[in-house]
A and B are shown apart, each in its own frame.
Chain A
Amino acid sequence: MHTPRVCKILKVESEAENIKTIYFKDRRTSSRIIPGQFIMVWIPGLDEIPMGVSHTGLNSELAITVEAVGEATEKLCSLKEGDVIGVRGPYGRGFSPPGLNNLIIGGGTGMAPLMPLIELCVREKINVNVLLGGRSLNKTPFIKKLRDIFNPKLECFKVTTEDGSYGCRGFVTDLLDEIISKNSFDRIYACGPELMLKKIYDYCTEKKLPLEVSLERYIKCGIGICGSCYIGSYRVCADGPVFKIAELEKIRNILGEWTRDSSGRLIQL
């Protein structure tokens, strides 16, 4: 069950600078996955890393979106159609089902695990507002995909870039006040750099908003037994990666402050 299933890569798309979206088929994952859950992706002979699923399509089609930041992700980004990867999962706890009016906030590739949730909302015609933050136009994934999905007249999709090369200049968190004051959301979902999540957490705590965030830690087993991904007493791989605002209360001193490396040593974020 927790053995990698080898899959052929069907297609590789360039998503942004150093960011690729890799398509493959895995029936076990596609038939079970809930948006926000993750899979362990095996690169034979090199490594195995946790990845959010960034697309769930017809006929068991799935995709992951990878930014080349280390040896394993560089190798993944260099793979071509016909090459193979192994996958096991899906693992962890995903996002709650969307409410009537939803806000989705993604930072960079942190938008990846939120994409299936947006796809679901669009497919089911559920109201969804999306904020996407990135460093610049070239370095921000999903801009084109989201523009294609959304009707520009509805103004429900906004982008911020740090250099102002696309959308508003600044951070996604700068837009929180405006969008939240104009709407009433049943659910707010966020994923991205932990400092961004911490800001959103603090904001939503103050305003008592129903937030869920997806967190990242060093994951080894993926099945809740090795203890490498603890954040407080939560195992990110099994109790998360998605946590609700009430659960985040217990780890608010760790959030955005501390993580652990491969050995389990505490590292300042």
Chain B
Amino acid sequence: MNFLETALGSIKLDNPLIIASGVLGTTAEGIKLLYEKGAGAVVTKTTTLSSKPGYANPTVVSTPSGLLNSMGLPNPGIEEMSREVASACCEGVPVIGSVAGSSISEFIEVAKRFEDVGVIGVELNISCPHERVGLIGQDCRLTYQVVKSVKDSVKIPVIVKLTPNVTNIVEIALEAVKAGADALTAINTVKGMVIDVNTGYPILSNKFGGLSGPAIKPIAVRCVYEIYASEVKVPIIGVGGISNWRDALEFLMAGACAVQIGTSLMKGYQVIEKIKKGLTGYMKKNKLKKLNQIIGISHKRC
């Protein structure tokens, strides 16, 4: 019996562990391997219409309990990415296409091309803290416009990835849902900076980057909890600092139907199976049959 089945609206997943965007989902073989290693679904690297080289190195630097990155959305463009993704989709891998663009028409075009090759949904990246697209997710009107336009152009589910770099994440979440979002991903990375004190240079070539890893988990859990407690009734995917099954469980209890992992893959692919095993063990021990029995239970505890 599979204790870990979950659903994001019409998307059914074998297990709730999704590989977050920006992490390894760049090629067909990379995506297939992540699925073989046990992921419930894989989100691609964020893709734009034309190729983008990304920022110069250093693009990654570690901090206590976290990783700061500023890749600059490098991707080969939708033409080449859709070929890679098509190959994974053909073999039955559940792929979610991460979409960005510098105009509404670019968002629409990229989303449609992903739809054409058989992805199970698209995730709109309006929240990257080191790219201009991140500004969309900090503005209610722009969020509405982008989500509505994509929603009107594709039939597959549209997931919207939210940024924590706002005063009130619920306000943006509501706007995305009003525009038709089928699910929300919370959260993208937290904007930060690291300076080398020996030389005075900011380490990342782009100066600012997005913080991920255990350092941001409490922020992410709070965001998921706040959205779940609001009038938003679409499924939430929790992400931010998950590195073991207890972390994943925490997000489920806060109200997430599924979770994404990224930074913790640094320790190896086996983290995927370890989390699944831990969650299954927890379900058995507590005589639970379905993840639904734990999703959002923290809201009933106060």
Is A157 close to B, CB under 8 A?
Answer: no
Instruction: Give B176-226 interface residues, CB cut-off 8 Å to A.
Output: 194, 196, 198-199, 201, 203, 205
Q: Which residue of B lies closest to A5 (CB)?
A: B198
Question: Do A1 and B75 contact each other (CB < 8 Å), given the known contacts A225-B262, A232-B29?
Answer: no
Say how far B216's CB is from chain A's closest CB, in angstroms: 16
Question: Do A6 and B198 contact each other (CB < 8 Å), given the known contacts A48-B58, A225-B266?
Answer: yes
Q: Is A233 a contact partner of B30 (Cβ separation < 8 A)?
A: yes
What separation, in Å, do the CA atoms of A235 and B34 have in the docked complex? 12
Q: Convert B48-68 into 0s and 1s, putting 1 for each residue whose CB lies closer than 8 angstroms to a CB of A.
A: 000111101111111100010
Select the residue from A228, A235, A264 with max chain B CB neighbours within 10 A. A264
Question: Do A263 and B203 contact each other (CB < 8 Å), given the known contacts A227-B24, A233-B29?
Answer: no
Q: How many B residues are at the interface, by size bracket?
A: 35 or more
What separation, in Å, do the CA atoms of A46 and B30 have in the docked complex? 30
Is A249 close to B, CB under 8 A?
Answer: no
Is B243 close to A, CB under 8 A?
Answer: no
Say how far A222's CB is from chain B's closest CB, in angstroms: 7
Partner of A224, one of B22, B69, B77, B265: B265
Q: Which residue of B lies closest to A232 (CB)?
A: B29
B residues less than 8 Å from A164 (CB atoms)? none
Q: Is B203 a contact partner of A3 (Cβ separation < 8 A)?
A: yes
Q: Is A263 a contact partner of B74 (Cβ separation < 8 A)?
A: yes
Select the residue from B57, B63, B198 with max chain A CB neighbours within 10 A. B57
A residues less than 8 Å from B51 (CB atoms)? 263-265
A residues less than 8 Å from B52 (CB atoms)? 263
Partner of B58, one of A4, A225, A264: A4
Q: Is A220 a contact partner of B54 (Cβ separation < 8 A)?
A: yes
Is A146 close to B, CB under 8 A?
Answer: no
A residues less than 8 Å from B262 (CB atoms)? 225
Q: Is B203 a contact partner of A262 (Cβ separation < 8 A)?
A: no
B residues less than 8 Å from A235 (CB atoms)? 24, 30
Question: Do A262 and B54 contact each other (CB < 8 Å), given the known contacts A2-B60, A6-B196, A226-B59?
Answer: yes
| Secondary structure of the B contact surface, majority rule | loop
- How many interface contacts (CB-CB < 8 Å) are there between A and B? 115
Q: Which residue of B lies closest to A50 (CB)?
A: B57
Question: Do A230 and B59 contact each other (CB < 8 Å), given the known contacts A220-B54, A262-B54, A265-B77?
Answer: no
What separation, in Å, do the CA atoms of A261 and B53 have in the docked complex? 8
What separation, in Å, do the CA atoms of A2 and B60 have in the docked complex? 8
Q: How many A residues are at the interface, by size bracket?
A: 35 or more
Q: Is B61 a contact partner of A2 (Cβ separation < 8 A)?
A: yes
Q: Is A223 a contact partner of B60 (Cβ separation < 8 A)?
A: yes
Is B263 close to A, CB under 8 A?
Answer: yes
Is B71 close to A, CB under 8 A?
Answer: yes
Is A152 close to B, CB under 8 A?
Answer: no
What separation, in Å, do the CA atoms of A140 and B182 have in the docked complex? 60
Is B76 close to A, CB under 8 A?
Answer: yes
Q: Is A42 a contact partner of B58 (Cβ separation < 8 A)?
A: yes
Q: Is A263 a contact partner of B75 (Cβ separation < 8 A)?
A: yes
Say how far A112's CB is from chain B's closest CB, in angstroms: 19
Q: Which residue of A lies closest to B56 (CB)?
A: A47
What separation, in Å, do the CA atoms of A226 and B291 have in the docked complex? 30
Q: Is B61 a contact partner of A4 (Cβ separation < 8 A)?
A: yes
B residues less than 8 Å from A222 (CB atoms)? 60
Instruction: Give A17-63 interface residues, CB cut-off 8 Å to B.
Output: 40, 42, 44-49
Q: Which residue of A lies closest to B79 (CB)?
A: A265
Q: Which residue of A lies closest to B53 (CB)?
A: A262
Say how far A258's CB is from chain B's closest CB, in angstroms: 11
Q: Is B198 a contact partner of A84 (Cβ separation < 8 A)?
A: yes
Say how far B270's CB is from chain A's closest CB, in angstroms: 13
Question: Do A225 and B27 contact each other (CB < 8 Å), given the known contacts A42-B58, A47-B57?
Answer: no
B residues less than 8 Å from A225 (CB atoms)? 23-24, 262-263, 265-266
Is A266 close to B, CB under 8 A?
Answer: yes
Is A196 close to B, CB under 8 A?
Answer: no
Partner of A47, one of B32, B75, B205: B205
Say how far A41's CB is from chain B's closest CB, in angstroms: 10
What separation, in Å, do the CA atoms of A261 and B266 have in the docked complex? 22
Known: A264-B76, A265-B51. 7 other contacts (CB 8 A): A2-B67, A45-B201, A47-B205, A220-B57, A226-B69, A227-B26, A260-B76
A residues with CB within 8 A of B? 1-4, 6, 40, 42, 44-49, 84, 86, 220-228, 230, 232-233, 235, 260-266
Ranked nearest first, the 4 interchain pairs of A and B with the lowest CB-CB distance are A48-B57, A2-B62, A227-B26, A262-B53
Contact sample, A vs B, 17 pairs, CB 8 Å cutoff: A4-B196, A6-B199, A44-B196, A48-B57, A48-B58, A86-B199, A220-B54, A220-B59, A221-B59, A221-B60, A226-B69, A233-B33, A263-B52, A264-B26, A264-B27, A264-B51, A264-B74
